[in-house]
A and B are shown apart, each in its own frame.
Chain A
């Protein structure tokens, strides 16, 4: 609900949208029982895009991005991620999951493993990376998120912000081409929000394709190249951040923005 000031220069040199399509969603529909959660979603995401998805609670934002790595199943339409169509074929699902990183609101770190083990587990078992190489890579990303000294601790011994940064590092260790974020900062205190947002900004600066569900409008303004507003399971409005915030078109968007920005 806040607009945390981002008090640093953002290096936009590598934040470039290419022509290559990363995700293509066509006429996608999803139901929970008889409840129609996602209605006729059409969305094309290019490599290098940074998309923020906003919308009121219950509008289906989480459901949408969880469909992208098959944590939820869609019933109609097609989702093509990095050239692979999401179908019931388990091989496709595992392939897409190993190429799409996901960061959750509640971190979902594995509490019985150390930070380092959290980061090397999937590379070792899914990618069959040799242990030593996996550890080196894990340390590289832990340094990136600025917590290499915590590598041998357990998640329960870290603060929320540190845990979330570990979760980001854990995803990065799989070398994903796309990162999904589902409200990565909503379970955190303001100071920790800042550390996590900083990490996400750095990721964007390196040209990562990102889809973020977030209420951090400061992040949306400065980092996103596109903001998507959802309500009642549909995409209501999408635009470049400047236009989206200064000149919203739909009544629902205006109402939402006035509530969330508090004016």
Chain B
């Protein structure tokens, strides 16, 4: 037997790794050329990427911007490159980008004859001031929701935004939205006043019923009365003038913003011990999920007229918003239910054992965790519903897709195809990709160590 005992006398110093292991060379070697097969795949992929990119890039950048019609585009291409293939004609975007963005929304609502290229003389807001302001305010309003570092005071903008948005976009008297907002104040005051006298359930019912009565019977006449005394408002804009990418954002923002809370309520309802509530929620979710969105949109645009009393003017965009919201809420509910199911029962028991009541437990313990688990699913649903807003072109609204038909029907641009859809694709990609990145940021931020 040999001696197995060993004692190290000197500790080994640290040595630099061989050159082939570090730096750019090391990285390339490890990740791209680690074996024969890998090297071949790398070369094939590189060639493929080069092939695709060289075509797309030359199409994108060896292109014509200054042209007023497709034929003019083609002439310039022939003169410059000798052929008309492989060159984009961005002239169409240059010509029609305002329409693609804003549809037929008037640039100066107070001056119906003015156009972008022919602005009114004086005393007017810049072109498209209202939709642009609405968009900027949207960014301000969601900042405190998305980023905890944003000043908390901005939450007031967030609270006012649901009333500002329709007023700025559709215009009209300021009193209408103010009276709608007053309904919430009435509900809140009623709740605070009676909560000590009667139980919290009675107070809650009162806080729901009173505002409903107010909106149904009082808000309209009161707004009308005040308006005739103190007329205060801006030029109204008709729903049929709405369109373009602006319409997609409008529909998307409303559907996303409203469907999340409805989805939470539906998901909780589906888990409820109250059988009627539970089956109402299940029925709603399963029905909506079982029907294509386009069917719901047709219901909104055509069928609903059959059920409404004749002469009622129920705005088409509002109807579409409701349908899209309900549609996305049903999906949202299922995504959130997945998050709820992933929570261990111990979390409910922990909350219960401390004496938190049902709503406190949901709000403070259950929902924050369930929503965090569901972030990828929630954002997928957001992205999905945002892209689905393009379906409204089928029921005759002029969203970006609907507008392309009109543009291509114009003799000047008859035959333009790729450029329009590339432009639309980029618009949607920017928004959807931002949402996706934000969700990753949020997941990282909410990471609080393994469970």
Query: Which residues of A approach B to under 8 Å, CB–CB?
Result: 69, 71, 90, 94-95, 97-98, 100-102, 104, 106-112, 121-122, 125-126, 153-157, 170-171, 174
Contacts and interface: CB of A to CB of B under 8 A. Distances in A.
9 contacts: A71-B353, A90-B357, A97-B354, A106-B344, A108-B347, A126-B360, A154-B449, A155-B449, A157-B449
Interface string B323-367: 000000000000000000000101101111111110010001100
A103 B351 CA distance: 12
Interface of B: 344, 346-347, 349-357, 360, 364-365, 368-369, 372, 446, 448-451
Interface centre among A110, A156, A174, by most chain B C-beta atoms within 10 angstroms, is A110
Nearest to A96: B355
A111 B356 contact: no
A154 B355 contact: no
B346 A170 contact: no
A104 B346 contact: yes
A126 B346 CA distance: 19
Contacts of A101: 353
Given A156-B449, A157-B449, A97 B352 contact: yes
A126 B355 contact: yes
A156 B346 contact: no
A69 B351 CA distance: 12
Contacts of B364: 121, 125
A112 B368 contact: yes
B319 to A, nearest CB: 39
A110 B360 CA distance: 14
A121 B354 CA distance: 9
B356 A126 contact: yes
Contacts of B353: 69, 71, 97, 100-102, 104, 108, 171
Nearest to A99: B355
Given A112-B368, A121-B364, A71 B349 contact: yes
B354 A71 contact: no
Contact of B450 (A95, A98, A156): A156
A167 to B, nearest CB: 8
Nearest to A167: B350
A102 B350 CA distance: 8
Given A112-B446, A157-B449, A122 B368 contact: no
Contacts of A125: 356, 360, 364
Given A122-B355, A126-B356, A110 B350 contact: yes
B449 A112 contact: no
Nearest to A125: B360
B349 A111 contact: no
Nearest to A109: B350
A112 B350 contact: no
Nearest to B355: A98
Given A108-B346, A108-B347, A121-B354, 12 more contacts: A95-B355, A104-B349, A110-B351, A111-B369, A112-B372, A122-B354, A125-B356, A155-B451, A156-B448, A157-B448, A171-B353, A174-B354
Contact of B354 (A98, A111, A112, A154): A98
A258 B451 CA distance: 37
Nearest to B346: A108
A47 to B, nearest CB: 20
Contact of A112 (B349, B352, B448): B448
